[in-house]
Structure formats: structure tokens, C-alpha cells
Structure 1
Amino acid sequence: MKKSKAGGSKHRKAAPNKSPDACLLVLDFDHTVVDKNTDTFVWKLGENGKIPDSISSAHGEKLWTHLMQDVFDYLHQQGCTPKQILDCLASMKLAPGMDTLLYNVPENYDIIIISDSNAVFIQHILETHGVFDRIAHIFTNPANFDEDGRLVVTPFTEQTACDICEKNLCKGDALKMHVDRMAGTGRKKYGRVVYVGDGLNDLCPCFKLGKNDAIFPRSGFRLEEEIKKIQRKKKEEIQAEVVAWQDASTILEYL
């Protein structure tokens, strides 16, 4: 869709980026741009404010996008309209400081989103908060409302090479795809990549970053925990600068 994170090392304080070169800011979406998970947020639209156990209990057995399609089918059967879904999403809050970050990212930075959510959810939330035009590209699961008003979502891909990421989207591959495409077309070569995320599947792209790059795992979330485990082993798998964040203004100060 175009416009469409022997005693172990602690997180180091990041040095400001003063490079005039083109740079890339990569954002996860759930628990990163927004403060909650978009997919499970709409479950409250189900009968009695929840999704039947027969659907939600399939988590881990089904591809996540397939489970969510079951959710959307159920909501449609219950008479839930596109407007109700979009209004629910519009009530979601951005993560602390995220609006400030998105409005004030330096001009030499492109912003892309790589997310396991879906195109309808992400675009509507970004438009609601007036920041959709700040995003250069969005890598996520395609989605649309069909002629009956049912939300239909399809996997971005069905990969089997990466065990860290979900089968519907390898975030490391998506990042590499964007960087290689930009360089290959001669448009720009990024001098620095800054990755912001929270979950386990955000670890994959972190392995693809170099010493001039930076990782911002959200404090208290899985990505920070996994990076600390790697750092305690004193391996060189994570080469980028690592700075935990609670408020996205921390990221803006770095940029």
C-alpha cells in the first residue's frame, strides 16, 4: 500500500544523528504507532463486547490473517457495519509522543510502516490523526470492504523462511525490499536506518541493521526483552545502537 524493538549490557544513550544523508525511519504499528493492538481492539464490537471462544481459541492454530478473517466474517454476520468498525478504530489513541514524532521527523528521513495489521486499519487511523501523508510507504496485509460491507483481509505473503516473523509477513524481508528498491532505482541510498517496534517479530529486521543504525524497542515489551537476552550473550548479532523508549519524543530527540 503506497501512502496508500557477564551481567549483560544496558541500553546505551544514543548519539544524535547529524548526517545530512537520506535516512529511513521504520515503524511497527500496533503498540508502537498506536497504543494498543488494532486487530484485538475491534473484538469489542462482537456480541456482549467480545468474540466467541470458538474463533479466538484458534490463535496459534491458524495464520493470524485467517483468524482475523473469521473475526470479520463474524462481525459482518452480527450486522456490524463498516462505519462501526472505522469509528471504533478512530477512537484508538496514538502511543505517547507519537504524534509529535510524526509531525516533526527531519526532512532527510523517509518514514515507512511495516505491520501485521491491515491496510484499512492503518490508513484510517493515520488519516484520523492527520498523519497519513507523512508516511512514504506501508507494508501490511491488503484489505478492503467488499460490496456487502464485509471486511476482507489477505496475507501480504505466505513465507516460510523466517521463523521469527508471522508467516504472512517477514518484516526483515520487507525492510530489505524497500531499501534495495530505493537504491536500485537510483532514488536514494539510506545512510542510516532507525527501527521502532515492540514485539518479537520486530527482532528480525534488527538483525539486518548495521553499526550506523539504531533500534528503539518500546520499554516493557517483548522486543526489549529479546534484545537484552542477546546482549547478555555478548554476541554481535545486534550491531545497531539500542535505545528503549516510553515516549516517542525520545526518538525525535535522537533523529
Structure 2
Amino acid sequence: MTALSNQTNAAPQQQRFLVLFDFDETIINESSDDAVVRALPGQQLPDWLKNSYREGHYNEHMQKVLVYMAEQGVSKDSIRSAVEKIPPSPGLLNLFQYLQSHQQDFELAVVSDANMYFIETWLEHAGVRHLFRKIFTNPASFDASGRLVLLPFHSHSCSCCPDNMCKQVILREYLAGRQKDRGGAPFQRVFYIGDGANDICPSLALAPQDTAFPRRDFPMHRLLMNMQQSQGAKFKANIVPWVSGEDIVDCLKKIMKER
């Protein structure tokens, strides 16, 4: 019985802070979809497939890409190897190290429009999968024929987001569910780390004590800057741009000193 109490899933119920991570170009330094395409014999998609993409239907497009890759004989091992080789974003492993050393304070989750196979493969390989309580992403698994089959995460009614995923819906549902699990106690602060345009919608659900960490000079950062100039009142959370995970560590250390 005592052995069980040391396991990570028996971590203290009342971690004070929630940290949410995007995956592509946030945890890792490029898009996992682009990295996997390099496993193709010619290392790129044919034009007819590239040109079949429709705005807001990226998940559907990626389903076609994975079918094409299977037809070209790309194996599960080649896909795994391509994912494992993706470098982390600068300083992200230092950030994970910091969060691991303060696991009693921080609960971690991933909210990403990539897919479960890519994310779990990369996190396991990097030795950090155990840090995350939950991964919200599109389901993906290999079928009997060895093809990676991708599905949409959910359907929603948000007009700002791709048809397969609204990260704000995920964030709001998770916060409500966790507050209930925690006997009505909300997280003291929520931190959202991202880079892309689809990270704006969840950031709009953050409260004044929370912080959005947009990757500097990436779409999320540029959109937030424009939003602040044109309609400052709409965005409630603090904004701290980051170039390296070290920038996020510095900010979290200051907040930890405020206790």
C-alpha cells in the first residue's frame, strides 16, 4: 500500500497552478506533421495533395496525408523515428526540469491539434510523459494494416476554430471538471503556453491572475499584440512572450516567491 502512495498519479490533490502546453512549435521546435512527411521516400508531398488542403479542415487534410504515406510504404518504425528526432524548442527541457522539481505545485496538460501518437511518442522518448496529467488531442492509432489512422477530437460550435477542435471549449470543460474533482477549489492561476493562431481562443478564457505565454514573433504573439492595441479590454490575462523555456521558468519563479 505504501509503494502506491509514491506513484505520480497519487500526487497531492491540491496543486495550485495549471500549466497548459500546445505541442507543435511550442514543446517541439517544428510541426510534427512536417517532420513526419520527411519519412516519405521523396521527403515531401506531391503538389496535388498539398493543394487539396481547405482552410479550417486541416485534420481532414492530415488524414489524407497519412493514407498517402501508408500507400508509399512508410512504416510505423519510420514514423516513430521521424517523431523522436524532432528537437525540443529552446529551453523547453529546462522548463520541464523546473516543473518536475515543483510537481507538488504544478499540474500539466497538453492541448494540441497534432495527434495522440505523435505527442505520446515524443514525450515518452524525451522522458517527460509522466509529467502530464492529461493530453487533449486528435486520436490516432495504427490499424491492422499498419496505417496510422487519424480522427477529429470533437465537434463544437465555435466559429473561430478549425472544425475538429476548439481549445477554449477543452480548457473551460477541463477547469470545471478539475474544480469539481478538487472539492470546489479552483486553480489559483492558469498558465497557457503556445505559438499559433489557434492558441488565441483558449487564451481568451484566461482570468486577470492568469498568464498567456505566446512564443515571440509567432502568430499567437502577433495576434495578441494587435488585439491589445485595438481592444485591450477584451484580453484579461497577463502576456509574457517567450523565446526560450528559460523565460517561462523566470516568470514562474517570481510567481512562486509571491506565495
TM-score (norm 1): 0.89
| 2:20 is aligned with 1:26 | yes
Structure 1, 33-42 or 231-240: larger mean CA deviation: 231-240
Moved over 4 A (4+): none
CA distances 1:9-66 after superposition (whole Å, capped 9, x unpaired): xxxxxxxxxxx96110010000000000011211122241111111111222572122
The correspondence for 1:81, drawn from 72, 75, 86, is 75
- Tell me, in whole angstroms, the C-alpha distance in 2 between the residues paired with 1:95 and 1:62: 26
- Tell me, in whole angstroms, the C-alpha distance in 2 between the residues paired with 1:234 and 1:145: 45
Q: Secondary structure at the match of 1:235?
A: helix
Corresponding position of 2:257: none
Aligned partners of 1:144 and 1:151 also within 8 Å:
yes
How far 1:233 moved relative to its partner? 1.6
How far 1:165 moved relative to its partner? 1.9
The correspondence for 1:198, drawn from 192, 195, 199, is 195
- Please tell me the residue identity of whatever aligns with 1:146: D
Could you say what the CA RMSD is over the residues aligned between the two structures, in angstroms? 1.6
| 2:165 is aligned with 1:169 | yes
Corresponding position of 2:250: 253
Higher RCO (Cα < 8 Å, 6 or more apart): 1
| 2:119 is aligned with 1:122 | yes
Corresponding position of 2:54: 60
Q: Secondary structure at the match of 1:99?
A: helix
- Tell me, in whole angstroms, the C-alpha distance in 1 between the residues paired with 2:214 and 2:90: 14
| 2:143 is aligned with 1:149 | no
The correspondence for 1:233, drawn from 215, 223, 230, is 230
TM-score (norm 2): 0.87
- Tell me, in whole angstroms, the C-alpha distance in 2 between the residues paired with 1:238 and 1:61: 26
Gaps of 5+ in 2: 1-7, 9-13, 253-259
- Tell me, in whole angstroms, the C-alpha distance in 1 between the residues paired with 2:55 and 2:235: 31
- Tell me, in whole angstroms, the C-alpha distance in 2 between the residues paired with 1:47 and 1:58: 20
| Change beyond 3 A, Cα 1:87–1:38 | same
Corresponding position of 1:50: 44
Gaps of 5+ in 1: 4-19
Q: How many residues align?
A: 236
The correspondence for 2:178, drawn from 182, 204, 212, is 182
| 2:91 is aligned with 1:97 | yes
Corresponding position of 2:66: 72
Q: Secondary structure at the match of 1:210?
A: coil
- Please tell me the residue identity of whatever aligns with 2:34: T
